[in-house]
Structure 1
Amino acid sequence: MPGSKGHGTRNDEVTFTSLTSSDLVHTENHQGHDDEAEYSNGTNSLKELCTSVEWVCSSPPPVSDFKVAAISGGCHIDVNVKLVQTKCHFTNPKPEDQCEIWRREERGAVATCSIEFWVMRGVAKVISHECTTRPELTNEEIVTICPECPKSLPLDDPTAVQAVKDAVVKFNREQKRTNYFTLMEVDHVTIETTATIGPIISLKFALVETTCPRGARNTFVACTPRCADIAQHAFCQISYYTLYSQLGELECELYPPKNPAPHPTGLSQFMCKPLFHQSPEACVCKNRLGETESTIHYICPFPLK
């Protein structure tokens, strides 16, 4: 599920197992606050895990949901972890431990994952993972503890989707980047009602740079996203005032390409992987997950079969 990076759970939930295995989940999940939201779970990195293989395999932490079996050259590990969502979209280059966690009333997501991986000669590799993802608080639950807090809306809510499309037009008009940007995914949608100006929909969404230069005859709607490693990305938020059918001020963070090297002239980008939500994997993930809550992105099972 694309979407946000996950992060370390709160203090009473942080364990060595969750700190390390969440990094492994990230390596297999490429969607937003995947929808594709990405999850992480603390400050220990995969690199730290790999450089302490002997310790992990011979002296596992005293956690009931952490099972280790020795194998030649390393160990096989089964672990259950709880992850919480951060405010960093998975395209954000910021390290997970620097990402702010959603507060309960801000309507983030949580996930409980069963992860299987092995550590062999300093290398950790995920064999499989299965996660149950859910809103940390449902709309029904939030009303009982915070009646004035925003309510979650489906990510495909028609009014919200149209507002996001209008916001993409606004972005391309105001930013004046070299190339047009197009929508990557809608990440987070909430609504609150005020006494003075009526319902306000708050939108968070991710954009990706396309191959169409500014001023091209074709509009950016038909443009192809650049390959993920050479594309610029943006993560934006905006309010939509439904009573007036009007967008508020657009706020965006821009992220540089992972690979800043110039793309070879004339080299076709048709071999790039499609955006996750347009890929065959997304269909398989949806079928595997079955009926889901439409207000959040989900962590897809791995491997997808």
Structure 2
Amino acid sequence: MEQVIVLGSGPAGLTAAIYAARASLSPLVVAGREAGGQLMLTTEVENFPGFPEGIQGPELMDAMRRQAERFGARFVDDDATGVDFTGHPLKVTVGDQTYEAEAVIVATGASARWLGLPSEQRLRGRGVSSCATCDGYFFQGKKVVVVGGGDTAMEEALFLTRFATEVVVVHRRDALRASKVLQDRARAHPKIRFVWNAVVEEVLGDKSVEGVRLRDVKTGETRVEPCHGLFVAIGHDPNTGFLRGQLDLDERGYVVVHDETRTSVEGVFCAGDVADHRYRQAITAAAAGCKAAMDAEKYLEARHAAPLASSASS
């Protein structure tokens, strides 16, 4: 029987593990086969406090993991394949192993939707990004391309105008799905140009992005759009498939939380991008991980004190 199981090993999960371990809860962290979360795809992190010169994403996650291990957190580097939250103890299945716990912290994050191109995967972190807030600063004085037509794409494009000389928005249709206010702002911005009815067929460049090959979906014609960066802004999917039917999820699949970290099941807490589709930053995920661990600790204290209180009164 574990006191706490943490699902996920991004900034939220590892911060939760650090706090839970320091509270002598000896957490078991189900880290996942692709441990570390989305920061493992980020070359340079310059907006995480405490690193004035910046830090590599994988380096930051490795340091956080070692910090959690130092205080007694234990790790299973595999994916959670199922849970049973219908009663206590809470159960988590990892492969053919089932673990039981008094409390669970869900911090499995969200995954950016990608275009699915080999060239896109090869150049991730070398000019290909899914987060303008994270990486926009690196494109000062450069031209970038944003793919997408929803609110996220417009927000990314508008943010990138602070740094880039030109932002080219590529959309597969001739109309945007974004809210009218964001559409109006993007269309009116002098740095933003739209390419309609087009898709990115290939990301060009050897060591870094040098351009994208676009294909017109109506005519089939292709052309090259030179650029230094490609921002894929077609949405995120929360990693909650194994939680369906066990926790309340919203219409997009994100975990519904109450009072910051509490889920629909007593003893199950939540932190990070698996519930947050607004901020999606390492620092906000870490803060949520701290809150979830502290809430889990208080929950366990109350759970253990209840029998003692009733026996003392009798």
Structure number with higher relative contact order (C-alpha < 8 Å, ≥ 6 residues apart)? 2
Normalised to the residue count of structure 1, the TM-score between the two structures is 0.22
Q: Tell me which protein shows more strand as a share of its residues.
A: 1
Q: Tell me which protein shows more helix as a share of its residues.
A: 2
Normalised to the residue count of structure 2, the TM-score between the two structures is 0.22
